Amino acid sequence: MRNIIITGGAGFIGSHVVRLFVNKYPNYRIINLDKLTYAGNLANLKDIEDKPNYRFVRMDICDFQGVLQLMQEEKVDGIIHLAAESHVDRSIKDPFTFAQTNVMGTLSLLQAAKAYWESLPEKYEGKRFYHISTDEVYGALQMTHPEGIEPPFTTKASSGKHHLAYGEKFFTEELKYQPHSPYSAAKASSDHFVRAFHDTFGMPTIVTNCSNNYGPYQFPEKLIPLFINNIRHRKPLPVYGKGENVRDWLYVVDHARAIDVIFHEGKIAETYNIGGFNEWKNIDIIKVLINTVDRLLGRPEGADMDLITYVTDRAGHDLRYAIDSSKLQRELGWEPSLQFEEGIEKTVRWYLDNQEWMDNVTSGDYQKYYDDMYKNR
């Protein structure tokens, strides 16, 4: 029996983590704590919202007293912290909100957990504060090869497996933090606070840094759902710069599976990088998306290539992200379950089959869901 708060459970990744834990652990009590910002959508959790081991609480992680009371009331012994402002473009326009939620919000959660757990006779025994972070804290990697070979080239990961890469360096857990965007700077700061609470107070913390996620329920401001929806409606696809930037993509359910393994078996005070050695240039992914959407809609494959529209580059646009997740694979035996081709096919199908979900998000109707479903409960 465990009582776990999952913050940000109404968001993209959080909803997959909540679903996995609610279904897999009927003996656990899962409390989804979410403020429901524009990114929170309770329709993401329709299939589990009536389960007896699930509770939704609308709350801001910055509300220290509220979180403390909730922890006392629910005798919380585990926190899986995903709530954050997560979109780089928004962080460029409004960095204050990112510092407030990602830094102050994380600190407020840490303080509440500290106050509650230190008040118990057993203190931190059996407790866990698990902070979900991003690979973007490490900064950006170059696209270089020592012998001048043109990327992508085949290389061997420290796990021993071969994969395609766009450069010879990878993000490992020991790398120094070099965030460039206000988003990654705020996430980096929150990671430092979490580690400081372990080092200073002995709080049992774990931090993981994951690569770009894709899959169902992602808010359509991010590349993959935005572009699938635009291709469907034959709207222009705004490609930043030359589309040459490289991201390392992981299917969201595989991230949730990693979170499950690490929450239960990860070592306290450790950091684990999560990724599937799956680097892609934006423009190549975009072509895959166009071909897949066209094929599934019965259009001639590639008919929508002319939607590609090169626009002004994102300020400070990180060139390449590439995660080395061999520590996680070696120590805890986690591996991604899906190949990218399979994951992208599933993802495109999901968005095409769930047009109502997409329409509710793009029209803003999804924000009424809380009032309809929860206000009178």
Residues recognised as catalytic: 135-136, 183
Residues that bind ligand NAD (CB under 6 A): 7-8, 10-14, 34-37, 39-40, 60-62, 82-86, 101, 105, 132, 134, 187, 210, 212-213, 219
CA distances to 42, 61, 77, 89, 361 from 97, rounded to whole Å, are 22, 13, 29, 13, 21
Tracing tokens 């897949």 back to the chain, one arrives at 292
Q: Residue 4: which H helix or E strand, with range?
A: strand 3-7
Please give the Cα distance from 106 to 79 (Å, whole number): 11
Does residue number 157 form part of the binding site for ligand TYD (CB under 6 A)?
Answer: no
How is residue 94 written in tokens? Answer: 């409004």
Of 171, 132, 184, nearest to 275 by C-alpha is: 171
**Which does residue 88 bind out of ligand TYD, ligand NAD, none, counting CB within 5 to 8 angstroms by kind?**
ligand TYD
Bridge pairing between strands 237-240 and 308-311: parallel
Contact 244, 280 (CB under 8 A): no
| Helix 182-201 with 106-118: angle, nearest 10 deg | 20
Does residue number 212 form part of the binding site for ligand TYD (CB under 6 A)?
Answer: yes
At closest approach, how far in Å is the CB of 214 from ligand NAD? Answer: 7
At closest approach, how far in Å is the CB of 285 from ligand TYD? Answer: 8
Nearer to ligand NAD, 62 or 283 (CB): 62
Residues whose CB falls within 8 Å of the CB of residue 68, separated by 6 or more in sequence, listed in order: 112, 115, 116
Nearer to ligand NAD, 62 or 303 (CB): 62
Q: Which stretch binds ligand TYD (CB under 6 A): 104-112, 138-146, 238-246, 349-357?
A: 238-246
**Which does residue 2 bind out of ligand NAD, ligand TYD, none, counting CB within 5 to 8 angstroms by kind?**
none
Does residue number 106 form part of the binding site for ligand TYD (CB under 6 A)?
Answer: no
How is residue 151 written in tokens? Answer: 């990327």
How is residue 241 written in tokens? Answer: 């710069």
Q: Which of 84, 88, 109, 228 binds ligand TYD (CB under 6 A)?
A: 88
At closest approach, how far in Å is the CB of 257 from ligand TYD? Answer: 21
**Which does residue 326 bind out of ligand NAD, ligand TYD, none, counting CB within 5 to 8 angstroms by kind?**
none
The DSSP code for 105 is: I
Sign of CA dihedral 39, 84, 5, 207: positive
Question: Which amino acid does the sequence have at 86?
Answer: S
Q: Which of 22, 132, 206, 239 binds ligand TYD (CB under 6 A)?
A: 239
Q: Which of 17, 42, 223, 252 binds ligand TYD (CB under 6 A)?
A: 223
Sign of CA dihedral 208, 253, 90, 373: negative
At closest approach, how far in Å is the CB of 239 from ligand TYD? Answer: 5
Nearer to ligand NAD, 212 or 271 (CB): 212
Quickly count: other Cβ atoms within 10 Å of residue 291's Cβ: 18
Q: Which stretch binds ligand TYD (CB under 6 A): 53-61, 191-199, 237-245, 367-375?
A: 237-245
**Which does residue 320 bind out of ligand NAD, ligand TYD, none, counting CB within 5 to 8 angstroms by kind?**
none
Please give the Cα distance from 133 to 187 (Å, whole number): 7
- Name the residue whose CB lies closest to ligand NAD: 11
Residue 157: HSE in the Cβ half-sphere, 13 Å Cα cutoff: 23
Nearer to ligand NAD, 206 or 307 (CB): 206
**Binding pattern for the stretch 245-284 against ligand TYD, x by CB under 6 A and - elsewhere:** x-x----------------------------------x--
Nearer to ligand NAD, 298 or 364 (CB): 364
